[in-house]
């Protein structure tokens, strides 16, 4: 347990901060880089209407973060990009504190609204996915809750899965488990990343994958 390192996303004064802490150690702010050395912000109280909140409202404030498999990067909501955009998703490099915005909404030249949350890495670190939503300038540009897959090497993005799919956990390079809608309920679905197939797995949500050895 002494070798574990935990990443935590918190917001203070309108700025998201990524902090890490190891067992028996003092928390350390990593992102934004200029905030390194600061104390860990207090946990804010956020209310979104409880059970009456819509799926979009609940997802919009999801603070899930994701370590890359090699531990060199962290994907998280917010970051330095929030000085330009209304909402964004960043990938931060732990060693340098550098950040790259991989998704952004509103602000700058963008006339849309939306969010990118719940990032997740493929086990080889060659792909990153997240749950996204967009209200465009026109109705034709609206994108309901959906999944985006991103190639960090080429910065190419693509939509995977179906409308309403979210919270993907990769099983391998060709498939992922997602939360989707089936028979009027939330189901864990197996999604084929190459052919777009969607196969009901079992009723539930927020899948997490671990290899059996």
The per-residue DSSP string of 8-61 comes to EEEEETTEEEEEEEETTS--EEEESGGGTTSPPPPPPP----GGGS-HHHHHHT
Is the pLDDT at 74 greater than 90? The verdict is yes
Is the pLDDT at 211 greater than 80? The verdict is no
Place of tokens 């390079």: 173
Is the pLDDT at 122 greater than 60? The verdict is yes
Compare 44 and 210 and report the one with higher pLDDT: 210
> From its phi and psi, is residue 184 left (phi > 0), alpha (psi between -120 and 50) or beta?
left
Is the pLDDT at 39 greater than 70? The verdict is no
Helix, strand, or coil (residue 1):
coil
pLDDT recorded at residue 1: 45
Q: What is the enclosing helix (H) or strand (E) of 206?
A: none
Mean pLDDT of the chain: 84
* Per-residue tokens: 94: 């732990």
CA 167 to chain centre: 8
Is the pLDDT at 13 greater than 80? The verdict is no
Dihedral (C-alpha) 168, 174, 180, 181: value to the nearest 10 degrees?
180
Q: Which residues of 195-213 are buried (b: 16+ CB within 10 A; e: fewer)?
A: eeebeebeeeeebeeeeee
pLDDT recorded at residue 137: 87
* Per-residue tokens: 18: 């990524």
pLDDT recorded at residue 57: 87
Instruction: Tell which residue, 155, 181, 167, 180, has the closest CA to residue 209.
Output: 167
pTM for the model stands at 0.81
Compare 18 and 35 and report the one with higher pLDDT: 35
Strands (DSSP E) found in 61-184: 66-67, 73-77, 87-93, 99-105, 113-121, 128-135, 143-151, 156-160, 166-170, 175-182
């Amino acid at each position: 347990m002494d070798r574990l390192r935990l990443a935590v996303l918190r917001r203070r004064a309108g700025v998201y901060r990524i902090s890490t802490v190891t067992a028996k150690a003092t928390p350390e702010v990593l992102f934004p880089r200029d905030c390194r050395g600061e104390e860990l912000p207090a946990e804010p109280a956020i209310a979104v209407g409880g059970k009456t909140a819509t799926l979009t409202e609940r997802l919009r404030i999801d603070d899930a973060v994701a370590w890359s498999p090699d531990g060199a990067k962290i994907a998280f909501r917010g970051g330095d990009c929030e000085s330009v955009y209304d909402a964004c998703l960043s990938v931060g490099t732990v060693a340098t504190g550098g950040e790259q915005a991989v998704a952004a909404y509103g602000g700058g030249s963008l006339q849309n609204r939306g969010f990118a949350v719940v990032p997740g890495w493929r086990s080889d670190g060659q792909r990153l996915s997240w749950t996204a939503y967009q209200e465009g300038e026109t109705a034709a540009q609206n994108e309901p809750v959906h999944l985006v897959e991103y190639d960090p090497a080429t910065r190419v993005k693509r939509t995977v899965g179906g409308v309403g799919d979210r919270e993907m956990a990769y099983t391998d390079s060709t498939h992922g488990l997602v939360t989707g809608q089936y028979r009027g309920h939330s189901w864990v679905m197996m999604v084929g990343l190459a052919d777009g197939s969607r196969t009901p797995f079992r009723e539930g949500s927020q899948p997490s994958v671990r290899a059996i050895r």
